[in-house]
Amino acid sequence: MIFQGWFLFLRFCSQFVKVTSSIYDMGLARKLERDEEEKQFVHCIQMAKDEAENERKVIMADFFLEKDQYFKKVVSLMESLEDSQGIKPEVNAVDGPKHKPTSSLTEVEEEESEEYEVMGQIQNLNFDFSDLCQKILETLMSMEMHLYEQIEETLANYERKITDLVNNFLESAQALFVSCRSLQTNFSEQLATVVPRFFNVTRARIAASKEIKQDIESVNIEQQENCFSIVPKILEECLESTDALQNAIASSHDIHVQMIDAREDKLISEAKNWLKENLSEHSRYEIQGNRERLYEIITVINKVKEEFEELQASLVTLPMLADMEIIDE
Ligand SMILES: *[C@@H]1O[C@H](CO)[C@@H](O)[C@H](O)[C@H]1NC(C)=O
Ligand SMILES: *[C@@H]1O[C@H](CO)[C@@H](O)[C@H](O)[C@H]1NC(C)=O
Ligand SMILES: *[C@@H]1O[C@H](CO)[C@@H](O)[C@H](O)[C@H]1NC(C)=O
C-alpha cells in the first residue's frame, strides 16, 4: 500500500519535472530568438545611423569649406575697410584723432563711397552666410527627422516581432501549464483512491496492535509506535476521521493547483513587464539619441555663426588697436 502511493508520487514528480523542464528549455530557446531579433534590430538602426552620419559628415565638410571662404572674404573686406579707415581721421578712433586731417573733400568722398560699397559687400556676406547657415541647419534637421522616422519604423517593426515572440512563448508556456494542472489532477484523483485504502489498513493494524497490547501489555509498546509512525504526525487526525482524510487530499490538491496558477501568473506578468520595459528602454534610448543629435546640430551651427560675428567684431577693433599702437610696430 505504501509502495503504491510512493510509486504514484514518484511518477507524478518525474512527469511534472519533465513538463517544467520543457517550459524552461523552451524559455531559453525563445530567449535566443528574442536576442537574435534584437541583434537585427540594433544592426538595422546602426546602419541607418551610420548612413546618416556619413551624409552629415559630407555636408558638414562642404559647409566648413564654404565657411572658410566666407571667413577669408570678410577678413579681406574688413582689412580693406580698415586700410581706408587707417588713413582717415576720426573713424572708429575712440580715444581721439591721432591723424592730421590732410585729405581734400573729394578724396574723403571717394573714400566714403568706396567704404560704403565695402560695407555693403560685408553686409551681403553676412546675409549670405546667415542664409547658408539656415540652409545647412534645415538640411541637417530634415535629415535627422528622416533618420528618426526610419528609427521609429524599425522600432515599430521590432515591437511587433518581439511582442509576437513573447506572446507565442506565453501561449506555449500556458499549454504546458495546462499539462501541469492535469498531471496534478490525475495525481490527486489516484491518491484519493489509494490513500483511503492505506489508512483503512493502517487503522486495522493499529486496532490489532491495541488488542495485542491488552493481552501482553509491556512488550508491544514498540510495535504500537511502529504502526503510528507509518502515518506522519500531521496526518494522525486522518486515522480517526475519513472526512479529515478527504479534506487533507482535497486541500493538498488545492494548494498544488494554486502554486501552479501562481507560477503561471508570475511568468505571464514578468514576461509582459519585461516586454514593456524592453520596448520603452529602446524607445527612450532612441529619443535621447535624436535629441542629442538635434542639440549638436543647433549648437554647431550657432557656434559657427558666433565665430563669424566674433571674427568681424575682432576686426572692427583693429584700427582702434592700431591707433593705440598695440598692433603696429
Ligand atoms: C531587450 O531584449 C533583448 C533581447 O532579449 C536583449 O538582448 C536586451 O538586452 C534587452 N534590452 C533591455 C534594455 O532590456
Ligand atoms: C492518469 O495518468 C495515468 C498515467 O499517466 C493514465 O494512465 C491515466 O489515464 C490518467 N488518468 C486521467 C484521469 O487522466
Ligand atoms: C475503508 O473502511 C471503511 C469501513 O471500515 C469502508 O467503508 C471503506 O469502503 C473502506 N475504504 C476503502 C478505500 O477501502
Cα 84 to Cα 103: distance, rounded to the nearest angstrom: 12
In a domain, 79, yes or no: yes
Pick the range with the lowest mean pLDDT from 47-56, 58-67, 83-92.
Answer: 83-92
Proportion of the chain above pLDDT 70, given as a percent: 81
Proportion of the chain above pLDDT 90, given as a percent: 58
Degrees to nearest 5, angle at CA 74 with 98 and 308: 105
- Ligand 3 neighbourhood includes 291 CB (under 6 angstroms): no
In a domain, 43, yes or no: yes
- Ligand 3 neighbourhood includes 203 CB (under 6 angstroms): no
And the C-alpha cell for 44?
538595422
User: What's the average model confidence in pLDDT over 209-238?
Assistant: 62
User: What's the average model confidence in pLDDT over 221-243?
Assistant: 67
Q: Is the pLDDT of residue 238 over 60?
A: yes
In a domain, 209, yes or no: yes
Q: What is the pLDDT of residues 183-193, one digit of tens each?
A: 999 999 998 98
- Distance, CA 37 to ligand 1 centroid (Å)? 10
Q: What is the pLDDT of residues 151-185, one digit of tens each?
A: 999 999 999 999 999 999 999 999 999 999 999 99
Q: What is the pLDDT of residue 3?
A: 62
In a domain, 55, yes or no: yes
Residue 56 — very low, low, confident or very high, per pLDDT cuts 50/70/90? very high
User: What's the average model confidence in pLDDT over 108-124?
Assistant: 80
- Ligand 1 neighbourhood includes 159 CB (under 6 angstroms): no
Residue 109 — very low, low, confident or very high, per pLDDT cuts 50/70/90? confident
User: What's the average model confidence in pLDDT over 90-109?
Assistant: 55
Residue 60 — very low, low, confident or very high, per pLDDT cuts 50/70/90? very high
- Distance, CA 185 to ligand 2 centroid (Å)? 10
And the C-alpha cell for 249?
487530499
Residues 6+ apart with CB under 8 A from 195: 5, 245, 249
Q: What is the pLDDT of residue 322?
A: 53
In a domain, 255, yes or no: yes
Degrees to nearest 5, angle at CA 234 with 231 and 236: 50
Which atom of ligand 3 has the smallest separation from the CA of 200? 1
Q: What is the pLDDT of residues 257-299, one digit of tens each?
A: 999 999 999 999 999 999 999 999 999 999 999 999 999 999 9
In a domain, 4, yes or no: no
**Closest residue (by CA) to atom 9 of ligand 2?**
186
Cα 232 to Cα 47: distance, rounded to the nearest angstrom: 67
- Distance, CA 263 to ligand 1 centroid (Å)? 23
And the C-alpha cell for 99?
591723424
- Distance, CA 179 to ligand 2 centroid (Å)? 12
Which atom of ligand 1 has the smallest separation from the CA of 277? 14
- Ligand 1 neighbourhood includes 35 CB (under 6 angstroms): yes
User: Which residue ranges have their beta carbon within 6 Å of ligand 2?
Assistant: 186, 189
**pTM listed for this prediction:** 0.74
Pick the range with the lowest mean pLDDT from 40-44, 230-234, 300-304, 320-324.
Answer: 320-324
Nearest to 90 by CA among 326, 323, 327: 323
Task: Say how many domains are in the chain.
Answer: 1
Q: What is the pLDDT of residue 216?
A: 55
Which mutation among 276, 278, 280, 282 tests ligand 1's pocket best, with the greatest number of atoms within 8 A of CB?
A: 278
Pick the range with the lowest mean pLDDT from 101-105, 137-141, 153-157, 325-329.
Answer: 325-329
- Distance, CA 87 to ligand 2 centroid (Å)? 113
- Distance, CA 275 to ligand 1 centroid (Å)? 9
Q: Please give the residue that has the higher pLDDT: either 197 or 234.
A: 197
**Closest residue (by CA) to atom 14 of ligand 3?**
197
In a domain, 122, yes or no: yes
What angle separates helix 2-86 from helix 105-215, to the nearest 10 degrees?
A: 170
Domain range enclosing 254: 39-88+100-328
- Distance, CA 28 to ligand 1 centroid (Å)? 14
Q: Is the pLDDT of residue 23 over 80?
A: yes
Q: Please give the residue that has the higher pLDDT: either 61 or 328.
A: 61
Q: What is the pLDDT of residue 320?
A: 45
Cα 287 to Cα 141: distance, rounded to the nearest angstrom: 15
In a domain, 23, yes or no: no
Residue 245 — very low, low, confident or very high, per pLDDT cuts 50/70/90? confident
Whether residue 89 contacts residue 100, with contact meaning beta carbons closer than 8 Å, is answered with yes
Cα 200 to Cα 53: distance, rounded to the nearest angstrom: 82
- Ligand 1 neighbourhood includes 38 CB (under 6 angstroms): yes
